[in-house]
A and B are shown apart, each in its own frame.
Chain A
Amino acid sequence: MRRVLRTAALMLLAMTVLTGLAYPLVLTGVIDAALPGRAHGSLVRADGRVVGSALIAQPFLGPGGQPLPQYFQPRPSAVHYDAMASGGSNLGPSNPALLAATRRRVAAYRALNGLAPGTPVPSDAVTTSGSGLDPDISIANADLQAARVARARHLPLATVRGLIARATQPRWLGILGEPVVNVLELNVSLDRLTRR
Chain B
Amino acid sequence: MTTNDLVHFLVLVAALALTVPLLGRYMARVYEGTPQWIDRLALPLERVVYRLTGVDESAEQTWRGYATGVLAFSGISIVVLYAIERLQGHLPLNPGHVPGVLAPLSWNTAVSFVTNTNWQNYSGETTMSLLTQMVGLTVQNFVSAAVGISVAVALIRGLARARTRTLGNFWVDLTRTVTRVLLPLAAVAAVILALNGVIQDLGAPTVIHTLSGAHQTLPSGAVATQEAIKELGTNGGGPFNANSAHPFENPTAFTNLFETWLLLVIPFALAWTFGAMVRNRRQGLAILAAMTILWAGSALSAMALEAHGNPLLGPGVTQRASATVVGGNLTGKELRFGAAPSALFNASATATSTGSTDSTSDSYTSLGGGVLLVNMMLGEVSPGGVGSGLYGMLILAMLSVFIAGLMVGRTPEYLGKKVQAAEMKLVAVYILLVPFVALVATALALSLPSARAALTNHGAHGLTEMLYAFVSTSNNNGSAFAGLNGNTTFLNTLLGVCMLLGRFGLIVPTLAIAGSLGRKGRVPDSAGTLPTDTPLFATLLVGVTVIVVGLTYFPVLTLGPLVEHLVTHA
A-side interface size class: 35 or more
| B246 proximal to A (CB < 8 A) | yes
Question: Does A8 lie within 8 Å of B73, measured CB to CB?
Answer: yes
8 A Cβ contacts from A120-134 to B: 120-124, 126-134
Q: Mark B52-77, 1 if CB is under 8 A from A, else 0.
A: 11110000000000001100110111
Question: Does B245 lie within 8 Å of A120, measured CB to CB?
Answer: no
A-binding segment of B216-224, B439-447, B537-545: B216-224
Contact of A75 among B198, B318, B319, B335 (CB under 8 A): B335
Bound complex: CA A119 to CA B310 (Å): 18
Chain A residues within 8 Å of B195, by CB = 35, 38
| B33 proximal to A (CB < 8 A) | no
**Chain A residue at minimum C-beta to C-beta distance from B96:** A84
Bound complex: CA A6 to CA B310 (Å): 56
Are A88 and B363 CB-contacts (below 8 A) given A177-B338, A177-B341?
yes
Contact of B72 among A8, A23, A120 (CB under 8 A): A8
A-binding segment of B151-159, B253-261, B416-424, B518-526: B253-261
Bound complex: CA A93 to CA B256 (Å): 24
Question: Does A15 lie within 8 Å of B564, measured CB to CB?
Answer: no
Bound complex: CA A84 to CA B206 (Å): 11
A-binding segment of B135-143, B487-495, B547-555: B135-143
Q: How far is the CB of B122 from chain A (nearest CB, A)?
A: 12
| A20 proximal to B (CB < 8 A) | yes
Are A178 and B135 CB-contacts (below 8 A) given A31-B200, A91-B457?
no
Bound complex: CA A124 to CA B328 (Å): 10
Question: Does B331 lie within 8 Å of A128, measured CB to CB?
Answer: yes
Q: How far is the CB of B3 from chain A (nearest CB, A)?
A: 10
| B273 proximal to A (CB < 8 A) | no
| B505 proximal to A (CB < 8 A) | no
Interface residues of B (CB under 8 A from A): 4, 7-8, 11, 45, 48-49, 52-55, 68-69, 72-73, 75-77, 80, 123, 125-126, 134-136, 138-139, 141-143, 171, 174-175, 178-179, 182-183, 186-187, 190-191, 194-195, 197-202, 205-206, 208-212, 214, 216-220, 222, 224-226, 229, 240-242, 245-248, 251-254, 256-257, 309-310, 312-319, 322-338, 341-342, 357-360, 362-366, 369, 456-457, 461, 464-465, 481-483, 564, 567-568
Starting from the known contacts A7-B171, A135-B247, 15 additional A-B residue pairs (CB-CB under 8 Å) come to A7-B55, A10-B54, A27-B200, A55-B251, A84-B126, A85-B123, A93-B364, A94-B564, A103-B314, A124-B326, A130-B333, A130-B342, A130-B358, A131-B246, A175-B8
Interface residues of A (CB under 8 A from B): 1, 4-16, 18-21, 23-24, 27-28, 30-32, 34-35, 38-43, 46, 49-53, 55-56, 58-61, 68, 71, 75, 81-95, 98-99, 102-103, 106, 118-124, 126-140, 143, 169, 171-173, 175-180, 184, 187-188, 191
